[in-house]
Each structure stands twice: as C-alpha cells, then as structure tokens.
C-alpha cells in the first residue's frame, strides 16, 4: 500500500516540536516548566489561537505534536485529572469568554496548575437542567453577583480551584431565558464541598453548597440571561469528551473483556462468544464514528451528534461490563477494594470486573441522562417532532416545583 500522505502543515509542526524539545530537554527540565514552554510555543492545543496555547492550525494536526512529544518522553498534563477543564471549560471560554478571561484562565487550566469542576446539576431539577433554582443576585453597589444554592454530582469539586456555574438571575422570565453563566472561585468561604459516596465505595462525586458566594461581574461568561445558550456549548463538548474521546483499537471497556476471553479459554461458551463478537464490532464502529466526529468539529463548536456517541458509550459500557461479569462467573462477583476514597480522576475501566460493572451504571446519567440525549438525537439530528413542552413560555417563578 502507498504511504499515507503527510497532512499540510505537519512538517512545520514537527519542526516546531523538535525546537521545543531541543530548548527544553524533558530529561533536564522540570515538568511544570516544560508544560509552560509547550503552551507558550503554541503546541498545547494547536487549533486554539496564537497566544492561547495554539497556532490556529487544524485540530487534526494535534496527533503530530503528541506523537513527537511521546517519543521523546516529554511529560503530559495528566489529562484525566483535568478533563473537565480541558473538555468543557476551555472550549466554552474560547467561544464565549472575554479576552481577559481567556488570558487569565486557559494557561493554568491546560498546564494542570488549576483544576476545574462543573456546577450545573441540582437535586431539585432532575434531568431538567433549565429548572435550576440556584440564584445569583446583582449587588448594585459593587456590580458583583451574590450566589446561593445547591449543586450535586460534581466531579472533582474536592480538587477544584475554579468551577463553571450556571445560576438563575431572572425568575420573572421562562426558565431557559433567566440563566447566567459564571466562573466561580471554589476557595470562596461560602463554598462548601461534601463527598457523595457511590456504589463503587469511592466519592468521585460531590455535592456543593453555595452560601452568599461573591462573583465579580468580570467572571460572567456571556451576557446576563444568556447562560442557557453558553451552557449548551459546554454540554455538547462534555458529551464529545465522554463518548467521543480518542481511544486505540480495543481501547475502553472492550479491551479487558477481550483480554479475559483470550487468556481464560476455560470460561468460554458459544453464546458468550457470539455476544462478545457483536459487542466488539459495535465498539469498533462507535470508536470510528467518534473519530469522524472529532475530525468534523470546529474549535469549540460541537454539534448534537456528540449526544449520539455519548449514548453509545453508555450502552456499550454497561453491556460489555455485564458480559465480563457473566464470563467470569463466580469470580465476576468479587470486588477487591470497596474503599472510601476521593480519586483525582474518573476511571471507567480500572481495577477489576466488579468495579467496571458498578461504575458503568453511572454512564447513562453523567453528561446528560440517556433519556434526555435520545430526545436531542431525535429532534436535532433526525428532525423528528419535538415533545410537547407546556412550560416553555411560563415564568420560572410560576412553575410548580
């Protein structure tokens, strides 16, 4: 077969990357200093603008940089630990943030100096995020916003320096129109973080109580009352980052299941073999569809198709982990470490089969419930009629809660 054509711009990026490595050898440069230099060289995320860690290059060229750095043993920014910042906060700030916000937040976000979390979900809103009740009231004397309310299912809140937050700023208009988007300082004395222990035994999630938290107007993202539109950009990016993250062949949940099948022939049955083959094919199709989706993304502007990849991710993870437990029979019921811990990152495939089975149950809830995502795919991708929404023109304060 003929060699694949070199993408335009790839050789320039390789040369830039090699200059970075020559000026900051990974073996003798502190990891934090190397990451700073990489950001300043525009090699952090090449599709971002110059001066913000990028070069304005096509997103598809990022693997060229990553491959050169990996071959040289360069440190990375521990993307699993800062996934919310990378996958959700950064593209939203790029699309809707002010120049000052981008300048302040993007570099420490990418280098991992500052961890981010997401303050969206609320215990009283269920799957209807637009029904949120956390209030932000303007202080006329200072121009600041005073925020009070409760958020729930907040990954990494126990580690976070900053949060992306949506709050209700106008209760007199319909629920989608009275919301504003903010950057919240998690070190404010009015922020309280409490762990939520999960079925796995750990507390990867948290609930967050906000009591009189003061947010300067300079930390408002987008116009007041336009938070729902800004939040949609965040949510679309979240679904791509969960369901469409780049993985190698047999990456993700299908990898451990296939490895068990190969290594433990005594466990095999014809029925399980056929089911494993079906799930392997579906996993590969979903992986390739995710790759195509990423290639089509414009910087910071994903479409509703990301909801489809996230739906497939949740369904496949649950089916594959269930098959793995069934394949292992009695062994599949074992769970080696039901210990209370507050991990630094989400681990969908770590530890043993029992952990994977339990953890996958959350995949159909986090990042938007599967039921909500089915509506998005039906209405925005397939063009089917919308569900009746009797409350869309009713002021939020008049809704039954």
Torsion, Cα 120 124 126 131, to 10 degrees, reads -70
- Secondary structure (3-state) at 278: helix
Taking the CB of residue 223, how many other CB atoms lie within 10 A of it? Answer: 12
Q: Would you state the structure tokens that stand for residue 161, as one six-digit string?
A: 């320096």
- Distinct helix (H) and strand (E) counts, the chain: 12, 8
CA-CA distance, 396 to 132, in Å (whole number)?
9
CA-CA distance, 234 to 228, in Å (whole number)?
10
DSSP string covering 56-121: S--GGGHHHHHHHHHHTT-----TTTTHHIIIIIHHHHHHH--HHHHHHHHHHHHHTSS-EEEE--
CA-CA distance, 136 to 189, in Å (whole number)?
16
* CB 192 within 8 Å of CB 155: no
Q: Which of 68, 114, 207, 238 is catalytic?
A: 238
* CB 155 within 8 Å of CB 116: no
CA-CA distance, 340 to 197, in Å (whole number)?
7
Torsion, Cα 159 164 169 170, to 10 degrees, reads -130
Q: For this structure, is 266 an active site residue?
A: no
Helix 305-328 with 270-296: angle, nearest 10 deg: 160
Q: Would you state the structure tokens that stand for residue 109, as one six-digit string?
A: 């976000």
In the numeric block, the tokens 């994977």 are attached to 356
DSSP string covering 336-362: S-------SS--SS-S-HHHHHHHGGG
Q: Which of 225, 196, 33 is nearest to 113 (CA)?
A: 33
* CB 149 within 8 Å of CB 196: no
Q: What is the DSSP letter of 283?
A: H
Which residues belong to the active site?
238
């Amino acid at each position: 077969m003929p060699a694949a054509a070199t993408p335009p711009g790839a050789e320039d990026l390789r040369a830039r990357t090699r200059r970075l490595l020559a000026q900051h050898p990974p073996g003798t440069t502190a990891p934090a200093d190397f990451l700073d230099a990489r950001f300043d060289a525009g090699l952090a995320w090449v599709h971002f603008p110059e001066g913000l860690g990028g070069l304005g290059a096509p997103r598809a060229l990022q693997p060229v940089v990553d491959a050169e750095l990996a071959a040289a043993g360069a440190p990375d920014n521990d993307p699993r630990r800062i996934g919310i910042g990378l996958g959700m906060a950064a593209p939203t700030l790029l699309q809707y943030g002010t120049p000052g916000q981008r300048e302040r937040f993007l570099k420490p976000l990418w280098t991992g100096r500052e961890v981010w979390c997401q303050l969206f979900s609320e215990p009283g809103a269920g799957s209807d995020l637009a029904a949120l009740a956390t209030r932000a009231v303007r202080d006329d004397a200072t121009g600041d916003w005073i925020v009070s309310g409760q958020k729930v299912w907040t990954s990494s809140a126990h580690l976070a320096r900053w949060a992306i937050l949506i709050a209700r700023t106008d209760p007199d208009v319909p629920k989608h129109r009275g919301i504003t988007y903010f950057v919240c300082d998690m070190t404010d004395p009015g922020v309280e973080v409490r762990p939520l222990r999960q079925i796995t035994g750990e507390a990867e999630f948290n609930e967050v109580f906000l009591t009189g938290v003061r947010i300067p107007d300079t930390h408002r993202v987008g116009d007041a009352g336009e938070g729902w539109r800004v939040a949609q950009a965040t949510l679309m990016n979240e679904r791509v980052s969960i369901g469409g993250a780049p993985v190698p062949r047999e990456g993700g949940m299908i990898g451990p299941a296939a490895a068990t099948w190969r290594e433990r022939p005594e466990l095999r049955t014809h029925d399980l073999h056929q089911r494993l083959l079906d799930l392997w094919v579906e996993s590969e199709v979903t992986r390739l569809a995710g790759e195509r989706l990423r290639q089509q993304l414009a910087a910071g502007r994903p479409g509703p198709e990301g909801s489809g990849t996230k739906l497939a991710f949740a369904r496949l993870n649950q089916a594959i982990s269930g098959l793995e437990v069934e394949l292992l029979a009695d062994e599949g019921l074992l769970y080696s470490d039901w210990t209370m811990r507050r991990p630094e990152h989400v681990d969908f495939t770590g530890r043993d089969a029992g952990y994977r089975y339990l953890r996958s149950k959350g995949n159909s809830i986090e990042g938007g419930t599967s039921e909500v995502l089915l509506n998005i795919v039906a209405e925005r991708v397939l063009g089917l009629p919308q569900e009746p929404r009797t409350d869309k023109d009713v002021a939020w304060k008049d809704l039954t809660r």
